[in-house]
Amino acid sequence: MRSLRPVYMAGALLLLSACGNIQPWVKPYERDRLADPIMAWDRDAISAAYLDHIRETREGSRGATGGAGGGCGCN
């Protein structure tokens, strides 16, 4: 047990040193690459938004997706 103490101390120091100097690794001029359409959840965002709107219109009890209005289609 005594021989493992240095290993545990080195592991603890390694973990604590990882929290010391946190800097963002994405520079402001590199963020345009993250906004690339290939990074989107949906392949066709316009079509997905339209289908989501249709689902919200038909199902009035559905919610929490940011849409407003009821199930009657009179938005």
CA distance 43 to 33: 16
- Percent over 70 (pLDDT), the chain: 75
Q: Residue 70 pLDDT more than 60?
A: no
CA distance 54 to 64: 15
Would you tell me how many other CB atoms lie within 10 Å of the CB of residue 67? 14
The pLDDT score that the predictor gives to residue 36 is: 72
Total-model pTM: 0.33
CA distance 40 to 36: 7
The pLDDT score that the predictor gives to residue 31 is: 79
Q: Residue 23 pLDDT more than 80?
A: no
Q: What is the DSSP string of 1-32?
A: -GGGHHHHHHHHHHHHHHTTS---SS-GGGGG
